[in-house]
Amino acid sequence: ARVATPNGSRVRLSHKGKNLSCFWCRVWLCALRRSAAAATITNPEPTMRGLLVLLGVAAQALLAEGIYVLLQDDRKHCFLVEEPQQTKVELRYAVKSTSEDVRLHFTVETPKDGMDLGEDTPTIVSVDTLLARTQDAYVFTTEKDGVHRACLSLEQAPSSPVRLDLQVRVGYSDAYYEKTSKELNLNLLEAMSIRLNDDLTAVLSEADYMKTREVEFHGMSEGINSEATWWPIVQILTLLFTGICQVRYLKRFFKSKKLV
């Protein structure tokens, strides 16, 4: 499977061992958006504003690429999404290179305990649905902090390989903000304030999540440090005990042979 940078999310594609993490891409994009918005509000020099907008567009283009897999049977193809609790995740998919009536089975699994998700980790299925359309977008909300496994599979095995294009986006899309602005009759400044507020909420949620991860990592580091401290002591004591036993054995041996 081809792996490209998804749109603003930390996604690891668990297909043939290929992993991808794009958390810092997301942080960079949020910073560029906020800088561009602040530049527009304060109305600085046109050159600086144009540069910020250009960087924002470049970051958006970088994160706009998706991933694709080839579905040759009804086996599941999964990818991991690591996001905080109550985060909107939009999955855009498109089935190509086929003339058959394709129906996709989409599931989202979350770890029953903890935030990490391994092969043998007990999971809870939070989403289980059929996607009848060959090209659409599906939005789900993460129920807890941590890693979520999203899986796609064909309801029936196809006669020929089916290409499935995927694009994962975290948060509300541009179309959502445009629709909200029209419904509420918001001007540009009000719409931008709402969007910045949502971005700020997302950044704060991400920061809280990273603090939780940092606490876990600190506990793991303390455990490793404790093991690294006590294990050499145990080895030294074992060597001392072995040396004492060896010396006593040699003394008894020499005395029994009357060599001493």
Q: Binning pLDDT at 50, 70 and 90, where does residue 236 land?
A: very high
Token pair 């907008």 is found at 53
pLDDT digits (tens, 9 = 90+) for 11-29: 444 433 333 344 444 544 5
**CATH class for the region spanning 11-171:** mainly beta
Whether the per-residue pLDDT at 37 is higher than 70: the answer is no
Whether the per-residue pLDDT at 246 is higher than 90: the answer is yes
- Please tell me the predicted confidence (pLDDT) of residue 61: 46
CA 81, distance to chain mean position in Å, is 4
16: nearest Cα among 78, 104, 74: 78
Q: Binning pLDDT at 50, 70 and 90, where does residue 133 land?
A: confident
Whether the per-residue pLDDT at 54 is higher than 80: the answer is no
Check if the beta carbon of residue 108 is closer than 8 Å to that of residue 125.
yes
Q: Binning pLDDT at 50, 70 and 90, where does residue 109 land?
A: confident
Can you say whether residue 10 is alpha, beta or left, with left for phi > 0 and alpha for psi between -120 and 50 degrees?
Answer: beta
Neighbour tally for 65: CB within 10 Å: 14
Residue ranges of the domains in the chain?
Answer: 11-171, 174-260
- Please tell me the predicted confidence (pLDDT) of residue 228: 87
Mean pLDDT, residues 208-221 = 89
Token pair 């359309």 is found at 133
Mean pLDDT, residues 143-161 = 82
Mean pLDDT, residues 162-186 = 85
pLDDT digits (tens, 9 = 90+) for 73-100: 778 888 888 888 888 888 888 887 666 6
The pTM score is: 0.57
Supply the mean pLDDT for the chain. 74
